[in-house]
């Protein structure tokens, strides 16, 4: 019997929206603004992002990702971790320029 079998179909992309490569400045905010960590946003889609944190930083499961340039806050959940890279799933999106929900008013200081 031979191991020379034709390759199978390419893996199916699990994302609901296409990912775009970016290199943006960001901040991770948690504990109602008590803690912030600067990060780099490496990839984004409508449903999430891949971020890079400084080596050794750990963040909780639920965070807010701030896109500093666009002044947008994404409520997010950490879905995976690979070394200093973190995959985030977006749960909500809010402009820092407009009105924020009552529980996120602390983000105004980052706008």
Mean pLDDT of 70-88: 96
* pTM (predicted TM-score): 0.82
Sequence ranges of the domains in the chain: 20-110
Report the alpha-carbon distance of residue 70 to residue 14 in Å, rounded: 26
- Domain 20-110 in this protein, CATH class: mainly beta
Report the alpha-carbon distance of residue 20 to residue 85 in Å, rounded: 16
Report the alpha-carbon distance of residue 45 to residue 50 in Å, rounded: 9
pLDDT of residue 13: 47
Six-digit token string for 71? 């002044």
Coil/strand/helix, residue 74:
strand
Between 18 and 64, name the one with better pLDDT: 64
pLDDT of residue 16: 61
Report the alpha-carbon distance of residue 51 to residue 90 in Å, rounded: 12
Mean pLDDT of 60-84: 96
């Amino acid at each position: 019997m031979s191991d020379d079998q034709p390759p199978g179909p390419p893996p199916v992309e699990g994302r609901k929206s296409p990912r775009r490569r970016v290199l943006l400045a960001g901040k991770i905010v948690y504990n109602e603004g008590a803690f912030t960590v600067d990060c780099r946003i490496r990839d984004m889609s409508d449903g999430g992002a891949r971020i890079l944190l400084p080596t050794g930083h750990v963040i909780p499961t639920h965070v807010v990702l701030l896109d500093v340039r666009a002044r947008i806050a994404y409520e997010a959940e950490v879905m995976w971790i690979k070394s200093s890279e973190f995959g985030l799933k977006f749960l909500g999106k809010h402009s820092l320029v407009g009105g924020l929900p009552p529980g996120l008013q602390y983000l105004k200081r980052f706008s």
